Amino acid sequence: MSAHAGGYSADPRIRGVEWLPWILAIAAFFLLPEYLSLGARILIYILYALSLDLIVGYAGIITLGHSAYFGLGAYVAGILAAKAGITDPILQLLASAAAGGLLGIVTGAIILRTRALTLLMLTLAITSVLLEIANKATALTGGADGLSGVVIAPVLGLFRFDIFGRTAYLYCLVVLFIGWWLVRRMIYSPFGTSLTGVRENSLRMHAIGAPVYWRLVLVYTLSATIAGVAGGLLTQTNQFVGLNVLSFESAGELLVMLILGGVGRIYGAFVGPVVYLIAQDFLAKQFPEYWYFGIGTMLVLVVMFARGGILGIIDSTLAKLWRKA
């Protein structure tokens, strides 16, 4: 599970251990039927974190506003379902993807001319503006009350969203699988390698004739598209959209999940949301008043002792065992 860096000498074939998350996800479906709604939520956040890893971990773009694209995707699916009578889930997801991508290319083209703190501030500004629009446009979004009355037709006309969350779980799993496959392929491609080049030394990328700005706009757009899909999935599984999908806290929480799992290694985006959301679920039940304390402690420990996140710890432990053997 070591860092997935791509590159011109990397073997792009899927390794055995990379099937592990999928095996676990399918096992969870059969073994933990009462946790499927939490499971679907985790799968959605994995897709969302994967989109963030693409720009933070691989291209080196720091952002606190990724919720803009996630939230827009969520609202587009919700508004289509509740106000426009478009209930087909695949159609809704395509619309969420298009909306996320469109906002990604427009905002990316503006903010990616800047860097570092300016860029960070601009990402924050974008999601704040969207939050305020959603808050005020009550006729469309329901404002602070949230958007209810979201109706979702059966997937492909066959699979109804059941109250046990079985359809939702498998549906999210399939969408995540497609997203993972695309992201992984991109990371191993020449384009992905050039992104790591930009992250490592953008000055040098300019000097070898790379159109750095356009590469960044492209990856930002792709990432926003995936985040839009993740937002659409959240609406479909919850059948409700709240303002919190657009909040800065939600973007920050996502970044925490990614750092927890490990940045720039694809599977950090898998481990982070699993640990974070399960810990949140557990701590919120056990210590309803103090659960953020537990999350905070966990993050402090990871940042202090394991810069590579949980996967980083696993990597270095395996490396030690390997040397001893």
Partner 1 sequence: MNVALETRGLCKSFGALTVADRINFRLEPGARHALIGPNGAGKTTFVNMLTGVLAPTSGRIVLAGEDITHLGQATRVKRGLGRTFQINALFRRLSVLDNVALAVAERLGVARRMQRAASAHVEVRSESMELLETLGLADDATQRILDLPYGKQRLVEIAIALGLKPRVLLLDEPAAGVPSLESHRILEVLDRLPREIAILIIEHDMDLVFRFAQRITVLVQGEVLVEGAPDEIGADKRVHQVYLGEQRHG
109 is a site residue for partner 1 (CB under 8 A): no
277 is a site residue for partner 1 (CB under 8 A): no
38 is a site residue for partner 1 (CB under 8 A): no
CA pair distance 128, 124, nearest whole angstrom: 6
Stretch that binds partner 1, among 5-13, 103-111, 156-164, 223-231 (CB under 8 A): 5-13
Widest CA span in the chain: 65
CB 55 within 8 A of CB 61: yes
CA pair distance 193, 98, nearest whole angstrom: 26
57 is a site residue for partner 1 (CB under 8 A): no
CA pair distance 274, 48, nearest whole angstrom: 12
- Map tokens 């000498």 to a residue: 9
Comparing CB distances to partner 1, the nearer of 67 and 194 is: 194
- Among residues 200, 213, 205, 203, the alpha carbon closest in space to that of 114 is found at 213
Residue 147 phi, psi (nearest 5): -105, 110
Q: Which of residues 10-29 bind partner 1 (CB under 8 A)?
A: 10-12
Stretch that binds partner 1, among 27-35, 47-55, 103-111, 184-192 (CB under 8 A): 184-192
Taking residue 100's Cβ as centre, other Cβ atoms within 10 Å add up to 31
Comparing CB distances to partner 1, the nearer of 70 and 188 is: 188
Stretch that binds partner 1, among 2-10, 52-60, 137-145, 266-274 (CB under 8 A): 2-10
Q: In angstroms, what is the minimal distance from the CB of 199 to partner 1?
A: 9
Stretch that binds partner 1, among 74-82, 126-134, 187-195, 292-300 (CB under 8 A): 187-195
107 is a site residue for partner 1 (CB under 8 A): no
323 is a site residue for partner 1 (CB under 8 A): no
117 is a site residue for partner 1 (CB under 8 A): no
Three-state secondary structure call for residue 275: helix
Q: Which of residues 283-312 bind partner 1 (CB under 8 A)?
A: none
Q: Which of residues 196-255 bind partner 1 (CB under 8 A)?
A: 196-197, 200-201, 203-212, 215, 218
51 is a site residue for partner 1 (CB under 8 A): no
Q: In angstroms, what is the minimal distance from the CB of 8 to partner 1?
A: 4
CA pair distance 104, 29, nearest whole angstrom: 34
H-type alpha helices, 83-211: 89-111, 116-136, 138-141, 166-188, 190-200, 202-207
According to CB under 8 A, which one of 48, 188, 267, 270 is a site residue for partner 1? 188
115 is a site residue for partner 1 (CB under 8 A): no
Total binding residues toward partner 1, as defined by CB under 8 A:
33
Comparing CB distances to partner 1, the nearer of 191 and 248 is: 191
Stretch that binds partner 1, among 124-132, 193-201, 248-256, 295-303 (CB under 8 A): 193-201
H-type alpha helices, the chain: 20-31, 36-53, 67-82, 89-111, 116-136, 138-141, 166-188, 190-200, 202-207, 212-238, 248-261, 268-286, 291-305, 309-324
Backbone angle region of 209, left / alpha / beta, with phi > 0 → left and psi within -120 to 50 → alpha: left
Comparing CB distances to partner 1, the nearer of 24 and 319 is: 319
According to CB under 8 A, which one of 8, 30, 305, 322 is a site residue for partner 1? 8
Q: Which residue type, as a one-letter code, is found at position 97?
A: A
- Residues within the interface to partner 1 (CB under 8 A): 5-12, 185-186, 188-194, 196-197, 200-201, 203-212, 215, 218
